[in-house]
Amino acid sequence: MRNISNNKIFFALICILTTLILVPICYAQEKPVSVENEVGFYYTIQKGDTLWDLSNRFADSPWLWPDLWKDNQYISNPHLIYPGNRLLLFKKKDTDTIIHQKVEEIVAAPPPREMKEEIKSYKYFSIDMVGFIRKEPIIPTGSLFKVKDDKDMASTGDLVYIKPGTNMNVFPGAWYTVYRVLGPLFDEKTEALIGSQYYLTGVVEIKKIEPLYALAEVIKTYRAIAINDLLMPYEPRSPEIPITECEKGIDGAIISSEEKREIIGDNTVVFIDKGKKDGIKPGQFYSIYYQEKQRISPDGKEEIYLDPVDFGSLIVLRAEQTTSSVLITKSDKDIYPGAKIRSPFKY
């Protein structure tokens, strides 16, 4: 009995060893299996991060930041990202060939791809409400003198009464931009006239023409529309702004923010003192910088300018003859009216 039991044990051991040796060989001889997958590299957003900086850090070019936005569709506003959120930096669809071997021998995911696609445009969906500064006055095509139901302000859907201007050729269905004039603005150093600010408040559509007035409906409201606001022809603008090479040698300043804020930050519309005559065009990016002066020796009177330090960037949305409307796309510190702007250093 003891010999029989020993034989059974020995036979069982032989079977186990045979299985351990032959099974991997069988798996190794099976046909490869193709599996489509999506791989990527994730980064946890830290305080102070921007898509501009992260694109420069991981793709060696800040201009590729729209790729990051495209690959992270949960981000509704590319200028507002929050610490702690996970950001997909690189994404790639690939087909891995897997052979049934040990798990450790399966081919690892490929390295992150480089973002080499050229970014051709910048999207700003509020482009229609961006105002401007200009010296030459615009002759209004009409003015709003009453809101139906005696309201002080008009909003979307309200009916308003328009007094036609001398050059207003209105007809039912025509659209007009509503605006008011702020200013005039003068250069603090030279006291020269910069121009007046045209502050856009909405859009109306002409519904009815009477001998002395027109009845219109408010189609869009950018800000509260008030009595005495003026009208000019509506010109639709595409939110997709083609990116254009900036002008070399630009050195200017921020005049003010559109909403007259004293402290300016990301995603704020401001005006600069450079325009078409300087080569400024929509879609150009420029740097915001500061430059300190320092005495060479503690007891000396001579001061020198130190190297400029870039701390922000902006994109041109609209260019007038001597001024431009721009959007702050990045700022590492608070910006104030008078802050300096220049062509990016690489130029």
Structure tokens, 298: 């503690």
The pLDDT value recorded for residue 156 is 94
The pLDDT value recorded for residue 167 is 67
The topology (CATH level 3) of 129-233 is: Thrombin, subunit H (2.40.10)
The pLDDT value recorded for residue 65 is 78
Provide the CATH number for the domain formed by 243-342 in this structure: 2.40.10
Q: Where are the domains of the chain?
A: 1-28, 31-116, 129-233, 243-342
The reply to whether 31-116 and 243-342 are identical in fold is no
- Give the contacts of 239 (CB within 8 A, at least 6 positions apart): 123, 124, 125, 126, 127
- Distance, CA of 91 to CA of 117 (rounded, Å): 13
Burial (Cβ within 10 Å: 0-12, 13-18, ≥19) of residue 20: exposed
Burial (Cβ within 10 Å: 0-12, 13-18, ≥19) of residue 8: exposed
Residue carrying the six token digits 């702004």? 241
Q: List Cα–Cα distances, 174 to 147, 156, 161, 203, in angstroms.
A: 19, 16, 14, 10
- CA atoms within 13 Å, Cβ hemisphere of 267: 11
CATH for 31-116 (3.10.350.10, 3.20.20.30, 3.40.50.11860, 1.10.10.10): 3.10.350.10
Q: If the chain, 347 residues long, is cut into consecutive pieces of 10 residues, what is the mean pLDDT of each piece?
A: 47 49 43 43 80 79 78 78 79 43 42 52 92 94 94 94 82 93 90 95 95 94 95 92 93 95 92 97 96 78 83 96 96 93 78
- CA atoms within 13 Å, Cβ hemisphere of 195: 24
